[in-house]
Every structure is written in C-alpha cells, then in structure tokens.
C-alpha cells in the first residue's frame, strides 16, 4: 500500500465513532447534506432515485478522508480507464464494457453495442408482429447473471401485463424445467438459450432437454424455436440455431453485467421494447452521474465510502438489502451474485 493510501487510512481510523443519535443532535441539516438524487427525463416524464446516507456514520470529516483515499488510489484514472475500454479486468485480461450497452464507453464499443441492440429490437418487434407465428410463452435458459438479471427485470416490470409468459430456468435439476414445461404450450413456445460461450454445461444440458421436449410434443424443427444469446454466435449456429435468431453481445460484457445486452431479450419481449429502452435510459443516467461527478457528490463513490467504512473500520461482515417493493424481491439475489462473482 502506498504511503498516501496508508496516511488516508490512518486518518480514517483516527476519527471518533459517534453514535447516530449524536450525529443528528449536532446537525439539523444532516439529512439534506447527506442525501442526493440521480434523475433522468424531463417534465412530467422526469424520474429519479433518492439516496440517503444520513443514517450511516459518515461525517464531513470522514468524507474528506475518504476523498483523500480515493485520490491516493487513483480513482479518477481508473474510472477513465473503465470508460475508455481498457483491460481493467486484470484476472481475465480484458475490458469491462457493460456501460457501452447503455451508451457510455469508447466510441467503437458504443457503436458496436448500438448495432447489436438494433438487431435485437428488430427481432423483438418481428416476434411481436407474429413473424414466427403465435408466441405465448418463452423459456429462458441460463445460469448466474444471465438468469438472475432477466428474472429480476421480468418480475419487476411485467407483473401487471406481459406480452409473453416467461419462465427463467437455471437449475440443472430437471424439476425446474418440468415446471416450465407444464406451464407452456410447446406449439407456441420460444426457447432463449443464454450462454456467453454457448458451452456452459448446465445451460446446454437444459437446452438439449428443451429441444427433446419440443420434438416429443410435435414440433418438427425444435431449433427453429430457439433464440441464442451469446458472445460466440458461430458456436450457436453450429449447435443448430439459425443465424437470423442469434443475438450476439460483446465478449467484454461480463455475465453478471449482461442484462443490458442481448441477455435482456426476454425482458424486451415480455415488457415491450419501450420499457426495455426506458430501463437502459435509467441505467445510463447513473453512468452519466458516475462518469461526470467528482468527489463526494458522486453518489456511487459515496456508497463505496460507506461500504469501506463499515467493512474496514467497524468490521461489519454483512450488508443487508431490504426490498420493500415486492416487485424487487429478486434484487438481493441479483446483487449477491454480482458482488460475489466480481470479488472472485
């Protein structure tokens, strides 16, 4: 650890640990000062999320010290490297370009992501216009982020109305697939196979089972009912998917961040393209805030400060996420997988 980082941590550790009651008692404006909002849209369509750190133990002195730590850690240069598409994923030696799916990143990557998104939009709209016949059900097969992301978004956005009945299956236990089969009519069912390499054992085993189910129930061309979501389109075509039904995404998009890519296909199909695009817009607003806001006013960075304080200073080993809106019931699961995989 560099001398400047050590000095910043020494400064943080030396700060007094006041109670929340004391912090509120001596600062009538604590809620206002430690709250912030990320918004998007304009006029009646304006939306946003409010963040409140007043119920944490963060103080002005602590924020000053964490700002020094961020500077000593090279935060700004590392943020720039992320958005420039540099190979910041050192364990895999590649970029992490999920932000390009939402319009932020290197120009070439943003253009590529936009082209792939347009391809997905055309297929989604074609399906909704009955180009593939009647489609009433979708079985989405994936694992990890390629299953948790779509499951979360579908549950959150389509409870009131869904164009298709979606079932997300990740478990290789046959009971999971059987439940989806029982709920679906094979003659009006599409199967989305989500695998970055199109070799994931659990996913491809379940995909083979789905093909057998379709065939045994009178579907002459089971592979013709498949939409492939992958970073290796050639392998998907070799497996039997028509190239017009392959929706690629960039190799530099990690599975845990892939909801924003073609892995979001079942969300777009179930909720409609406008809803999916609106979800991307909301994420892009957070990207813009993170990319363009400095120091403690950067709410994403401030969240990291709070995490570091509780983990490193107070020794907390658990972070609780409470989804009071039932439509976000899967949000803790999604976050847990994202963070655990990100941390190896």
The predicted-structure confidence for 185-238, as pLDDT tens digits, reads as follows 999 999 999 999 999 999 999 999 999 999 999 999 999 999 999 999 999 999
DSSP 143: -
pLDDT, mean over the chain: 94
pLDDT of residue 65: 96
Contact 149, 131 (CB under 8 A): no
Q: Give the residue extent of every domain in the chain.
A: 129-272
137: left (phi over 0), alpha (psi -120 to 50) or beta: beta
Residue 157: pLDDT over 70: yes
pLDDT of residue 331: 95
pLDDT of residue 103: 94
Out of 1.10.540.10, 2.40.50.140, 3.40.50.10490, 3.40.50.450, the CATH code matching 129-272 is 3.40.50.10490
User: pTM (2 decimals)?
Assistant: 0.92
pLDDT of residue 271: 94
The C-alpha atoms of residue 326 and residue 308 are separated, in whole angstroms, by 29
The C-alpha atoms of residue 132 and residue 191 are separated, in whole angstroms, by 12
Residue 92: pLDDT over 90: no
Half-sphere exposure of 293 (CA within 13 A, CB side): 16
Across the strands, what pairs with 39? 48
Q: What does the pLDDT average to over 8-12?
A: 94
Residue 344: pLDDT over 70: no
What are the counts of helices (DSSP H) followed by strands (DSSP E) for the chain?
Answer: 14, 7
144: left (phi over 0), alpha (psi -120 to 50) or beta: left
pLDDT of residue 45: 76
Contact 246, 228 (CB under 8 A): yes
Q: What percent of the chain has pLDDT over 70?
A: 99
The residue among 77 and 337 whose pLDDT is bigger is 77
Phi, psi of 119, rounded to the nearest 5 degrees: -60, -45
Element (H, E) at 174: helix 174-183
Instruction: Give the number of residues written for the chain.
Output: 344
Residue 139: pLDDT over 80: yes
Contact 99, 83 (CB under 8 A): yes
């Amino acid at each position: 650890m560099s001398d400047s980082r050590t000095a910043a941590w020494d400064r943080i550790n030396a700060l007094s640990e006041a109670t929340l009651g004391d912090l509120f008692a001596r600062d009538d404006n604590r809620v206002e000062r430690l709250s912030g909002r990320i918004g998007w849209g304009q006029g009646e369509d304006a939306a946003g999320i409010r963040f409140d750190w007043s119920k944490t133990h963060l103080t002005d002195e602590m924020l000053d010290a964490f700002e020094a730590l961020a500077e000593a850690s090279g935060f700004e240069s590392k943020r720039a490297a992320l958005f420039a598409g540099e190979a910041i994923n050192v364990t895999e030696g590649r970029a992490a370009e999920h932000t390009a799916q939402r319009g932020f990143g290197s120009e070439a990557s943003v253009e590529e992501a936009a082209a792939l998104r347009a391809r997905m939009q055309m297929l989604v709209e074609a399906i909704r216009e009955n180009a593939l016949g009647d489609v009433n059900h979708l079985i989405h097969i994936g694992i990890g982020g390629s299953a948790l992301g779509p499951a979360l978004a579908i549950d959150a956005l389509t409870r009131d109305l869904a164009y298709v009945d979606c079932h997300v299956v990740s478990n290789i236990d046959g009971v999971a697939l059987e439940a989806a089969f029982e709920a679906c009519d094979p003659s009006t069912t599409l199967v989305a196979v989500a695998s970055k390499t199109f070799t994931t054992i659990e996913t491809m085993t379940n995909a083979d089972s789905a093909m057998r189910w379709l065939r045994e129930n009178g579907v002459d061309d089971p592979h013709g009912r498949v939409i492939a979501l992958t970073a290796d389109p050639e392998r998907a075509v070799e497996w039997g998917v028509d190239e017009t039904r392959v929706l690629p995404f960039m190799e530099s998009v990690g599975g845990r961040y892939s909801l924003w890519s073609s892995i979001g296909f079942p969300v777009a199909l179930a909720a409609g393209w406008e809803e999916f695009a609106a979800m991307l817009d909301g994420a892009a607003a957070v990207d813009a805030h993170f990319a363009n806001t400095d120091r403690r006013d950067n709410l994403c960075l401030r969240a990291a400060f709070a995490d570091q304080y509780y983990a490193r200073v107070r020794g907390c080993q658990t972070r609780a996420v409470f989804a009071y809106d039932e439509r976000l019931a899967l949000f803790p699961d999604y976050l847990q997988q994202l963070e655990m995989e990100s941390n190896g």
